[in-house]
Structure 1
């Protein structure tokens, strides 16, 4: 009897490992019975028995396709594998975080479907207390005034990126306060602080531009006008030196002194990949350097720290920060 228990346990482990492997291989067309036999060191006949058990007892829907002598197996589309309570909770909280963003259009439907699937058979609702958990998590984020509308435009942009076709957008330009009409070849999307930005080649400017999605008033997809995605372009490479979402091509070395009151932040948080602590000063302050472009965005970040940061280099940025501080001070002068 002890031998049988060990054998059953060994088979149970193998069944779970097969399901996990099928899950990983399904997006790539699945895996052959022969490959499963070789990977798990059992006969092909045993693999067929295991697949029958997985399908009939574990209730994992499988699709089998014969190609000559080979039989390829994959998990049926729409199957959601079981997750641990920890992973299920992470998914749930991630959905909560998107409330009020461009992704929130169908958020409640998706959340309900996920919660139903993830928790229906595996967990006691009283122990999981999903609703209690939701009430005890408060997300402090900016929210869109019309998330459903922005979400609809966002979906069109995603489809255009997938299919590589041009779009016409009506875009509100902040610095001019005007709405402009552009035809764009969409390369990709960037997300910063839950705000989404479209990156693409603007045919009007014949250059790569970044458009904030919630400032796009409307989108018209030219589904019949496809473009060739540039082979030498990657979003990661394009954004590598950018402080935020703007790449103006002017990489500059910036050196900043962080007061002891906030120096721990740059020790614990990487604000940019190029961030480097140059010197630890007596008393707890720190001198930090960055190699960045798009400094217009960086100045706003620096202002939030008030008198707790000091720009040391370059000189022109130091002077610009001083001028900005003076303009802010004038706003608050008595009698203004």
Structure 2
């Protein structure tokens, strides 16, 4: 049982990283380098294609073999799993998108070529019927390529199109993929700008060859999901605001996505929304569209913009009411009663 558990641990390490030195594997497993070599031979006997390169810079790498390794899956099941993972990754299904990319990266690493062709054909000639248009669809192949580069700490070269359609060449050190609803983002260190940047994956076109390898840097934030949310909902805009919503955070989160603002719990009956917009006038509409009562915390200029909008709306309502009164049907004497009668008295009084 100890040997079996160690083999499973060794296989997991080989799947999680592109290449390991014998010394690193021995240290992780708590055994000698000789035991590592014997365990690698056992994996090969079981059908796992483990490549070894000699020398001081050499190591072990899990490769793709002529046959599918014994994963307790037959060919049809392996294809079904790969297609399902690609679909989940490409459609951004809540809660499983990032996990699907990691699992697909491991599976495609060992799929034999004949199964890769079947998976590719199914994806190329399958048209999904979605609930709505997908203007920002991401190629699952690009996702898995980026995930592999993040895993292996290899530099990425790509062409990037900004929101205006202008293209530029970038060289980055990729760190993590972040999924928000149906949109994917890459958090990476931009070598040309010497700073952390967030890139929309649907605007990335990889330009191999990639590399060399790099030493991973300390990420820009511990919570990368919140970091990306702040970037796409606040920092990317000219006008910023902080408002208190008079509802619990859980209820606000049902209507406000991470790409629209960052929510912070404040108490049982309120929360704080940090958000951005192209202008204060647009910010007024953005906050109103949340559908919740609110209080502006900052900036003071937003309160003035709301007051201006309030006065404009009040004038509009007054004009609409006056117009409705003029067009309403009237009684013969204009007072709601016929001539010859007086309000409050009978006909014989």
Q: TM-score range by the shorter chain?
A: 0.3 to 0.5
TM value normalised by structure 2: 0.46
Rg larger in 1 or in 2?
2
- Name the structure where strand makes up a greater proportion of residues: 1
